[in-house]
Structure 1
Amino acid sequence: MPRLRGADAATVRDAIESGDPLPGTAGFAGEVDDQLVRDVLGREPLYLDAAADDRTWSFDPTELAEPELLDAGSVVEPDGQRREVWSLPTPEIETDHEAAVSAVREAVLTSVREPAESGLAVAFSGGVDSAVVAAGVPEVPCYVSGFADAEPHDVAAAREAAAAMDRDLRVVAFDHADIERAVPEVVHATGRSNAMDVGIALPLYFVAERAAADGFDRLAVGQGADELFGGYRKVVDPAEDHRVAAETVRGATREVIRTLPDQLPRDVLTLRAAGVDPVAPLLHDRVVDAALRLPADLLATEKERKVALRRAAAGVVPESVRSAEKKAVQYGTYAARELDRLARQAGFKKRMDDHVGQYIDALVGGEV
């Protein structure tokens, strides 16, 4: 097993010495000079064993007795002392809209074109995020998953987008038996059994599992775009939205970006459990830097979200794809709907507190 993932030791060593939070990587974690590290956005997970007296650690929480996720931006010294080395930077706002969009475009296109196409597939939902990622690697197949007895939003959108982009699309249809099989595997891999995390992870798991079966060992994903570029409804009018503490669009966007270190391990661990390594070009440092410089009206407005990213995608993806809205993956694939249906069929009624979570716990425990 590698002792460092995502970057070479020299780059991480320099980043520690300089305190540079964005040293030109797509995230990193591991051991350098007997120090344990995890990058500022937590793009690579690293776990310590809370049950051990020493610094027992792993990239995989299933290998530890009591896994504890290391905070993003942290370094653990040889004596076990932890310190925050990197924090989310606050670069100057680029007030020139044309220059800001141009910077986003250059950063995004450079990043999506970097991955080698050999052994690579793309997770494709038909939205602008995954379409831009797919545009960077034009010869690789695209995968989408959705519930089998319907045509979920993500599958329909992916079919339309793939046709517009002339791409090879492979649809992974999952049914109730697949969900019942995969839920324990996802929970074991991620250590998470709440309904939201499982609902998000399942469609990724099915896509990755199929891609791995087809011979691919890496999966390119669009993760990070919603957080970096103002893709959530709650950042549009944050002063009136209880889901965020910030009162400005930029403040709310930064608040959402800070949720990435907790979210990303779920996705990374899910994909690796299914047999592929994730490639997330929209989370590269150069993209993060360009996104952090955006003014509020290039993030989200009442009429449009991910404004700068959509403008940067002009001419890169078809107009119908560039402007398309999509649902969250757990809803767009019907994963959440069918988890709820299975829970009710198993006797966990909606009137019960967290009925889907109780069903997941029972399924993992072999009690369903």
Structure 2
Amino acid sequence: MTEPPHGADASTARDAIESGDPLPGTGGFAGEVDGRLVRDVLGREPLYLDAASDGRDWRFEPTDLAEPELLDAGTVVEPDGARREVWSLPNPAPETDHEAAVDAVRDAVLTSVREPNSDGLAVAFSGGVDSAVVAAGAPEAPCYVAGFADAESHDVDAAREAAAAMDRDLHVVAFDHDDIERAVPEIVRATGRSNAMDVGIALPLYFVAERAAADGFDRLAVGQGADELFGGYRKVVDPAEDHRVDANTVRGATREVIRSLPDQLPRDVLTLRAAGVEPVAPLLHDRVVDAALGLPAELLATDEERKIALRRAVDGVVPDDVRGAEKKAVQYGTYAARELDRLARQAGFKKRMDDHVGQYIDALVAGEV
């Protein structure tokens, strides 16, 4: 397969390979450059090799490959099949000037969210600081939020309040059990993933993207990356006491979480493309990553607050109530995970069974329920 790289032109990718610069000023890239296959340092664009063909066949998505293997982030595959790590995540010393660190985040974030052209652009909007700053950068773009139809979900409530505070046009996408049963096989086919966590996360993204596409938009701006880059997860607050991370410091745990992005992002990218839109993720631009990597622990997460630098950076850009709002993970805030579990149990996959939701998903994809 020969196709220009996604996410950057060939010359930019070529220069990054030759220089070894892991953050060359892009939003990520993957593809073929001079006969070499590449995937950027954070894996913001997916690229799959076919293990059944000794890696000679490849695609941007796993569909149609006999044994799809996600290429490791930061890797170049030479024409002879040899693989080498070209880029690794920078590890700068923490910035000691807190004001300068927040200013750097502010400049990087605001430049990035204002950069995308607004033509054909909609915003996935959950009412938290991440999606709010993305929306602030695209003031003419309509905002979309998903939630289960028979209940006012946390995300819908938060999005309504935030949209009112920001005077934004909000479209609520209400999904029901029929929608879930229809979408799950499509998501699994597109992403190659059928585990309950990935499908639960993908469902609301799919519904928002599907509605935006039906309304005539071909790009969807998302807030992906902010939680990882800026210390948004509870597990980074006291990592020495949290079994979910190996690191013992806030910065170490944050870095550990950032390094999970190359595995997570293909799910989101492929889900959105399957629903008919191209993802736009301004908070994952190299300039934002660079600013975030230098943050000290005190500007990442404490017992009292998380994403500290990001919240300070958007002061005056995002309303205070929205800037300080806490959010649930999308699969819980939209009730997607809850209703997926309910459908599994209704289909006879009881909680006492091992991975009952995963078994239900496999049966649904196979047409057995």
TM-score by length of 1: 0.99
> Do the aligned partners of residues 132 and 72 (structure 1) sit closer, same or farther apart at CA in structure 2, a change above 3 Å counting?
same
Q: Does residue 104 of structure 2 align to residue 103 of structure 1? A: yes
Counterpart in the other structure of 2:169: 168
Q: Are residue 141 (structure 1) and residue 142 (structure 2) matched?
A: yes
**Corresponding residue of 2:214:** 213
What are the residue-to-residue correspondences of 1:183-202 with 2, within 5 Å? 183-202=184-203
Q: Paired residue for 1:41?
A: 42
**1:14 maps to what in 2?**
15
2:39–2:73: 8 Å Cα contact kept in structure 1?
yes
Within the alignment, does 1:242 sit opposite 2:243 as a pair? Answer: yes
Partner residue, 2:84: 83
Alpha-carbon shift at residue 221 of structure 1 (Å):
0.2
Whether the aligned pair in 1 keeps the contact of 2:4 and 2:10 (CA below 8 Å) is: no
Tell me the residue number matched to 1:355.
356
Secondary structure at the aligned position of 2:76 is classed as strand
In the alignment, residue 88 of structure 2 is paired with which amino acid?
S
Name the SS for the 2:84 alignment partner.
Answer: strand
More displaced stretch, 266-275 vs 52-61: 52-61
Percent identity between the aligned chains? 86
Give 1:188's aligned amino acid.
R
Equivalent position of 1:31 in the other structure:
32
Deviation by residue 1:159-188 (Cα, 9 ceiling, x = unmatched): 000000000100000000000000000011
CA distance in structure 2 between the aligned counterparts of 1:206 and 1:269, rounded to whole angstroms: 13
Task: Determine the C-alpha separation between the residues in 2 that align with 1:108 and 1:196.
Answer: 29
Where does residue 315 of structure 1 map in the other structure? Answer: 316
Determine helix, strand or coil for the equivalent of 1:20.
coil
Cα distance in 1 for residues equivalent to 2:355 and 2:119: 43
Structure 2, unmatched stretches of 5+, are none
Q: CA deviation digits over 1:211-254, x for unaligned, max 9? A: 00001110000000000000000000000000000000000000
CA distance in 2, matches of 1:287, 1:201: 24
Contact persistence 2:91–2:293 (CA under 8 A): yes
1:48-76 per-residue CA deviation (whole Å, 9 max, x = no partner) reads 11111461111021031111100000000
Number of aligned pairs? Answer: 368
Distance 1:168 1:63 in 2: 39
CA contact (8 A) 2:49 2:55 kept: no
Aligned partner of 2:327 in structure 1 is 326
Q: Give the letter aligned to residue 59 of structure 1.
A: F
Letter in 1 for 2:321: S
- 1:352 to 1:211, Cα distance in 2 relative to 1, 3 A: same
Alignment of 1:142-161 (within 5 A): 142-161=143-162
- After superposition, give the CA deviation of every residue in 1:80-100 in whole Å (9 maximum; x if it has no partner): 100000000012321101000
| Separation in 1, partners of 2:55, 2:344 | 42
In 1, Cα distance between equivalents of 2:327 and 2:197: 18
* 2:27 match: secondary structure: coil
What secondary structure, in the 3-state scheme, does the structure 1 residue paired with 2:63 have?
Answer: helix
Alignment-derived partner of residue 337 in structure 1: 338
The answer for the alignment partner of 2:231 in structure 1 is 230
- Identify the residue that residue 272 of structure 1 maps to in structure 2: 273
TM-score normalised per structure 2? 0.99
Determine if the alignment matches structure 1 residue 61 to structure 2 residue 46.
no
Q: CA–CA distance in 2 between the matches of 1:37 and 1:232? A: 30
For 2:6, give the aligned amino acid: R
- Structure-2 residue corresponding to 1:113: 114
Aligned-CA RMSD value: 0.8
The code of the aligned residue for 2:134 comes to V
